[in-house]
Chain A
Amino acid sequence: MPKRLLGLLLVLPALAVIAFLFILPLIMSAVGAFQVEGAFGWGNFTKTFDLYTKDIIFTVVIVSLSTVLIGIASIAIGGYLTLGEHPVAVAILRWLYRWPMFIPFIVVGQILRTFLSKNGMMNNTFINLGLMTPLDAVSFLDWRGIVIAFVWKQTPFVALLVAGAMASINRDTIEAARNLGASRLRLLVEIVVPQVAMTLTVGLILSFITMMSVLSVPLMINAQSPTMLTADIAFRVNSYGDYGVANALGLISLVLAASVAWIYLRASLKERA
């Protein structure tokens, strides 16, 4: 059929870019992870687990903690935007929360690096307000800095999705529960959140995968051990030209991301069944 053929021809160039610049290198990385000096074997993985087990755990803990915090914050923001009763307060929040969304990760790394350091603006402000003494000031540029950077940057994105989904919920159930005397917190937890659970999960999974692949934030905020797998991969390639271990680390982060996506797929299949 010529029309079908024409359609495929029009799509083909764009698909070829994805195939050659993403899928082919992805396969190369999976194959390369098992290649040790030309032969196949588990060598890269034994070396990876010897050197980087701590960083693998560190990455999982950091990204999971950030995901949980992003989830809580976006439910709170979306919930207030949906159930908030004072129009001015809702408008203030709506204006306020979105700012970090379009700020690039590398810029987030730079501005939080100066903001959170031992003599940074956050500690200085607390000291000037009398909330703490200069002796108590500590730098947040470790795992906490990475978590703060992730939550700072990703919350607006998930909150935007969640707030959008909450806005399209049928208001009748909310009003009915409100008339029965349910508190706003109970409305949020028992009526609103279950109805946007799918959107929330999608947003959190996309955030999880994004955080797994961000290189600039760990490089800018905390590149010392323990650090995130992305920083390890970059170090392995740039300092040793060791593609085997880099690919093994890449495959491990791929498996971590895939297992999260698997949870989502199972949940969505259950919902459709």
Chain B
Amino acid sequence: MTAAHNPAARNPLAALWWVPRGIIFGPMAFFIFGPLFNLLIWTVAEKWYFPYSLPLEYGFSSWARVFAPRGGAMESLTNSLVVALLTVVVSLLLAIPAGYALARLKLPFRGLILLAFLIPQAFPNLTVYVNVARIFYEIRLNGTIPGVVLVHVSHGLVYAVWIATAAFSAIDAELEQAARNIGAGAFRAFLDVTLPLAAPGLMASAIFVFLESLDEFTGSYFVGAPDVNMLPLLLYTTAAGGNYQIASITALLLLVPSLVFMLIVERFLKADVLSRVGH
């Protein structure tokens, strides 16, 4: 470090730099946390109307209504969790063999196959969901949980396959070879050696798929509604009906898992796996 890099030691006026920094960071913090703080207030507002800038009464009656057994919100919450968990299971069942093959076996058109999983993210997908809903209507999958799960799987598969591929290619192939040499079958060696080593990376891909499914709106809107109610749909209908308390609590329920996972995902997604994603 040269003196030029540490002006504070040299120049007492350097503290004045905090004025322009504050002028930029302050409003930035307001625009990032203001809406989030506003959401928190709405979840506990009992009475709040114009022209008051803060609620007149606070309380938890909206929470009681959301979590009431017949509230409808519990149904959406259960549906959302069931769909998200099933989406994770189906995606991993598809992605583990695919990722292993893409990482270890010599595949023709490997690059093209990897790219194919990106397609659902690379096109505006609204018109696709409209037509999926038409196909599902013909084969009676529309408005069913398996139908919604399939739509979410097609969307989340890129995370599952790409991260699984990266996780498998970050593992030393010789470890599996060693197990084969002492007499383990190919499947045994995979189950006992490779799969446990890839587990943190697979966990990360499961987290991404879970979040994608939990937050997905468009596909659930066309394929699920109105028979399968999910949290994002509940949020949309309650907000459209002007019930900001229920809408805000629903939004909070969707928000918290995303923020928690953001904080812990780095623990599962190590740099050696991350640097191989998409290769």
Contact = CB atoms under 8 A, between A and B. Distances in A.
Our verdict on whether A and B bind, yes or no, reads: yes
Contacts of B127: 26, 29, 233, 246-247, 249-251, 253-254
B143 to A, nearest CB: 14
Given A3-B105, A102-B261, A111 B251 contact: yes
A119 to B, nearest CB: 5
Nearest to A101: B262
A215 B254 contact: no
Contact of B51 (A18, A21, A26, A134): A134
B218 interface: yes
Interface residues of A, number: 78
Interface of B, secondary structure class, is: helix
A177 B132 CA distance: 55
Contacts of B247: 110
B39 A110 contact: yes
B29 A14 contact: no
Contact of A29 (B35, B97, B106, B128): B128
A212 B215 CA distance: 17
A119 B51 contact: yes
Contacts, number: 237
Given A213-B126, A253-B126, A13 B98 contact: yes
A89 B53 CA distance: 32
A21 B132 contact: yes
A243 B30 CA distance: 43
Contact of B124 (A8, A152, A213): A213
B123 A115 contact: no
**Which interface residue of A4, A8, A101, A111 has the most chain B CB atoms within 10 A?**
A111
B199 interface: no
Given A209-B122, A246-B130, A10 B153 contact: no
Contacts of B153: 17, 21
A43 B259 CA distance: 47
Given A17-B150, A17-B154, A18-B116, A106 B215 contact: yes
Interface string A1-32: 00110111011011101100111111011001
B105 A29 contact: no
A93 interface: yes
Contacts of B119: 18, 22-23
Q: Is the interface of A mostly helix, strand, loop or mixed?
A: helix
A86 interface: yes
A6 B101 contact: yes
Contact of A105 (B36, B135, B154, B217): B217
B59 interface: no
B151 interface: yes
B34 A122 contact: yes
Contacts of B261: 102
A215 B217 CA distance: 8
A234 B215 CA distance: 18
Contact of B34 (A115, A220, A253): A115
A165 to B, nearest CB: 13
Interface in A91-149: 92-93, 96-107, 109-115, 119-122, 124-125, 127-128, 134
A64 interface: no
Given A14-B157, A216-B236, A234-B126, A21 B39 contact: no
Contacts of B39: 110-111, 114
B33 A110 contact: no
Nearest to A85: B5
Contacts of B217: 104-106, 215-216
Nearest to A99: B32
Contacts of A8: 101, 107-108
A96 B151 CA distance: 34
A103 B122 CA distance: 20
B131 to A, nearest CB: 4
B10 interface: no
B195 interface: no
A98 B33 CA distance: 11
30 contacts: A3-B105, A7-B105, A10-B101, A13-B97, A13-B98, A21-B132, A22-B120, A23-B119, A26-B123, A32-B131, A85-B7, A86-B17, A96-B32, A99-B32, A103-B255, A103-B259, A104-B254, A105-B215, A109-B239, A110-B235, A111-B251, A113-B239, A124-B53, A125-B53, A152-B32, A220-B236, A237-B222, A250-B127, A253-B126, A253-B127
Q: What are the 6 A-B residue pairs with the smallest beta carbon separation, nearest first?
A: A250-B127, A104-B215, A7-B105, A25-B131, A124-B53, A10-B97
